[in-house]
Amino acid sequence: MTDPSEAAPADCHPSKIVVGSRNSKLALVQTHHVIQLMEQQYPEKKFDLISMSTTGDKILDKALPKIGEKSLFTKELETALEAKEVQFVVHSLKDLPTTLPDGLVIGAVLEREDPRDAVVMHKDFEENDLSNLPASSVIGTSSLRRKAQLLSNFSHLSVQSIRGNLNTRLRKLDDNKQYSAIILAMAGLNRMGWNDRISKVLPGSEMMYAVGQGALAVECAEDDAKTLQLLSPLHHRETALLVVAERSFLCSLGGGCSAPVGVVSEFINDGKSLELEGGVWSLDGTKTLRKKLCCSLKLDTEEEPPRKKAVHSQPPIFCGIVSPAADVELYKLAFKLGQDLADALISEGASVIMEEARKANELS
């Protein structure tokens, strides 16, 4: 693979670029946002959008972990990439497995929205919060991570699966009294302009969020150096470092997108250190493992003198994310932090809890 820094100038790229997206309202809003950013960078180019339904969009009568396939919200888009029907596709990063199909990479990670989860209450319970809802009140979520933490922190509640796009789930909450509340990602509500629906923002101490949640990822072909070059202005280094650590943690644990695993990550010490907290739960919330580690970073390192690069050098890839040449050492530190945290939790029994959760989900 050609180093993006040695790729042909952006104006050598075809004037028309085809972009892939899921056809949900939120996905289209996110993809149009990326296209607008690209249009600002490259006003001379035309960006055409192709949208499609994915497996996860089509199968709505089963909880996500029950469908039994990987890449539920990405497979069809990646097939289009592999067939060169699109030049790049836009994803919610939390939907992307930590191991991508051969030949595909994340060429850019955009600056992260708020990664936390939010409670949206039914109108009959607007004055309540989760702690004082009546016993056996039903909370809707399709996430095992959210379910396990809800049961761990609010044992008086009942949790039931709710499927559908963001607007569909809000409609299900509003139109009947089956659910007292639902849990949604703040990022999606913010991007849709539905902040007024948020009843409470859940802090990481109460609800650790999904790996990559709140960040957008732009996926393209590994050997498409021109597209990688085009995407480079969109790449947000600080977000990328955080999600590399998170994805490394999940990958090292052996968990998938729907596993009962959560994270909280942030820069501390004025940006000189990266802190990562990880958690693993049993499905019923009765078993919990949480641990926090940090590593030293120095984001304001002076640039090294230019060095001659090998003609066929390949930019390193960390859990699918392409690292700019200048940031490789920082990415290595973030990646190792995720591995170290996973190893620490595994030594305390995380693998056993995750395996029990997998079997319990299969039997439920």
Q: Are 77 and 21 in contact (CB under 8 A)?
A: yes
- SS3 (DSSP) at 331: helix
In the DSSP assignment, the letter for residue 267 is E
The strand pairing partners of 216, in sequence order, are 92
CA–CA distance, 330 with 308 (Å, rounded to integer): 21
Q: Are 350 and 250 in contact (CB under 8 A)?
A: no
**Angle value at C-alpha 180, between 179 and 181, nearest 5 degrees:** 90
In the DSSP assignment, the letter for residue 61 is S
Residue type, 164: G
Taking alpha carbons only, the member of 330, 357, 159, 360 closest to residue 253 is 357
Would strands 216-221 and 88-92 be described as parallel, antiparallel, or unpaired? Answer: antiparallel
H/E element, 183:
strand 181-185
**Other residues' Cβ atoms within 10 Å of the Cβ of residue 315:** 20
Q: Which of 95, 117, 224, 327 is catalytic?
A: 95
Q: Are 253 and 357 in contact (CB under 8 A)?
A: no
Distance, CA of 189 to chain centre: 15
Side-by-side strand order, sheet with 288-296: 261-268, 273-281, 288-296
The yes-or-no answer on residue 57 being catalytic is no
In the DSSP assignment, the letter for residue 26 is H
According to the 3-state scheme, what is the secondary structure of 290-321?
A: EEEEEEECCCCCCCCCCCCCCCCCCCCEECCE
CA–CA distance, 155 with 89 (Å, rounded to integer): 40
CA–CA distance, 180 with 356 (Å, rounded to integer): 29
Query: What residues act catalytically?
Result: 95
